[in-house]
Amino acid sequence: MAQNSWPFENADTTEDQYSLLFGRYGKPGSLFMGVASQPNQTGAGSLQVYGDSSGMQVKVRSGFAVVRGFAYQNSTNGQTVAIDTGSASPRIDLIVLTLDPSANTIVLAVVKGTPAASPTAPSLTQNDTTGIYQMEIGRVLVPALATSVAAGDVTDTRPCLPVGAGVWTTTQRPAGVQGQMGWNVTNNQLEVYTGSAWQEVKPSSIDASIITTGTISNSRISALPLANVSSLPYVAGTFLAPNGSGGWDSGRVPEPLYSGKVNNPTVGTSYTTTGPSVSTSNNSAYHLVSGSCVIGAAAADRTITMKMQVGSSTWEEFDLYIPSGKTGHISATMMYPSSGTNQTFKLNFKSSSSTTTSIDSYLTVLGIN
């Protein structure tokens, strides 16, 4: 079996070997494939494809690119590329850089699409290690019977050469290789390619059903609005809980119950009856009850009272004085000895002022055995 290795000093390296070496580094947008520009960069040096209604043609800015490890440079800032006239139906043409090792060239070219009522982009020739490779840098929608290409007919699809990790817009995002990572400037988020799709590294929501063990870092959820969390995840395990006799017993944590956000837009001098409510069903010995509210500004000084109830009985009341025009927040956590009896916990609110106040409130109940 033949064994080969390259490149080395004073040893010839063929184009096929060179393509094999650098083609292994990935697809457009990876280390050795893409345009040397930043996402959304325009003007000289950007290799941007654009239309200007000057006829059936597009123009390409000057710039530099790498296609499967081979360098390409266009020194003409406004290089014209002819587009075939429109047909009876619209079509999509692709503007590409075509690498042809047999001709020792990389040139601008057009891959013409097929006219259709709902046209789709044509396929590219992309041999990863040898032969012809076409890298798309622009996409042209050719309207039916078109006689010119306008600016709005051209979509920028340049894959950008990364500096370390990649950087791109959603439309310029590369096809991706598994494990490739980059910053998406459209969504302002870090993304990684899983092998089948681009996925945000820090999720914008939490699926509690898949969290069964371990802990959740505050950094993973600190930016999430509480209203986005449909059910709170929990970790099964044991801990020490008060036993009611001055000691501590080993307990377990069942799934917490969460009310969701409740808005009371017109809190006045009488207690509301529409605050958040949670009814338990786990027959726990104790319930850890956390209630909180965010109080909107009002045009009068007032004292807001948050009442924590068990059933119809008042458990505890918490007061907060808030000056005119200011907002406020009340938060309280208490342990209720339920003794294995299911309970209904509630929050309600009132104000010392007849000037109504808007209050968003939340209630979480954790059963402890």
CATH code where residue 31 lies: 2.60.520
Percentage of the chain beyond pLDDT 90 is: 45
Indicate whether 274 and 337 sit together in one domain. yes
Say which range, 119-123, 226-230, 253-257, has the weakest mean pLDDT: 226-230
Domain membership of residue 77 (yes or no) is yes
Final residue before a domain boundary, out of 150, 178, 200: 200
Check residue 231 and give its pLDDT: 43
Check residue 39 and give its pLDDT: 77
Domain membership of residue 225 (yes or no) is no
Confidence of residue 286 (pLDDT cuts 50, 70, 90): confident
**pLDDT above 80 (res 23):** no
Indicate whether 193 and 78 sit together in one domain. yes
Bridge partner residues of 337 (DSSP): 286
Domain membership of residue 38 (yes or no) is yes
Indicate whether 269 and 171 sit together in one domain. no
CA distance 106 to 127: 14
Indicate whether 39 and 142 sit together in one domain. yes
Q: Which CATH number is 293's domain given?
A: 2.60.120.660
Angle (CA) 167-170-173 rounded to 5° is: 55
Specify the higher pLDDT residue, 294 or 22. 294
Indicate whether 32 and 144 sit together in one domain. yes
Domain membership of residue 10 (yes or no) is no
**pLDDT above 90 (res 149):** yes
Say which range, 27-36, 82-91, 312-321, 326-335, has the weakest mean pLDDT: 27-36
Indicate whether 196 and 240 sit together in one domain. no
Check residue 69 and give its pLDDT: 83
Indicate whether 195 and 248 sit together in one domain. no
Confidence of residue 305 (pLDDT cuts 50, 70, 90): very high
Burial class (CB within 10 angstroms; exposed 0-12, middle 13-18, buried 19+) of 7: exposed
Indicate whether 165 and 310 sit together in one domain. no
pLDDT in tens, 231-278: 444 444 444 445 555 555 555 455 577 777 888 888 989 999 889 999
The average pLDDT across 273-295 equals 88
What are the DSSP calls for 284-346, one per residue? -SEEEEEEEEEE---SS-EEEEEEEEETTEEEEEEEEEE-TT--EEEEEEEEEE-TT---EEE
The number of domains in the chain is: 2
Final residue before a domain boundary, out of 183, 200, 217: 200
Confidence of residue 78 (pLDDT cuts 50, 70, 90): very high
**pTM over 0.85, yes/no:** no
Domain membership of residue 223 (yes or no) is no
pLDDT in tens, 129-142: 778 999 999 999 99
Check residue 233 and give its pLDDT: 44
User: If we measure between CA atoms, which residue out of 290, 288, 296 comes closest to residue 263?
Assistant: 296
Indicate whether 177 and 36 sit together in one domain. yes
Check residue 175 and give its pLDDT: 76
Indicate whether 190 and 246 sit together in one domain. no
Average pLDDT, the chain: 83
Domain membership of residue 196 (yes or no) is yes
- Tell me if 347 sits within 8 A of 291, measured CB to CB: yes
Domain coverage including residue 278: 236-368
Check residue 224 and give its pLDDT: 45
Domain membership of residue 226 (yes or no) is no
Check residue 226 and give its pLDDT: 43
CA distance 337 to 280: 13
Domain membership of residue 313 (yes or no) is yes
CA distance 140 to 149: 8
**pLDDT above 70 (res 203):** no
Final residue before a domain boundary, out of 179, 200, 221: 200
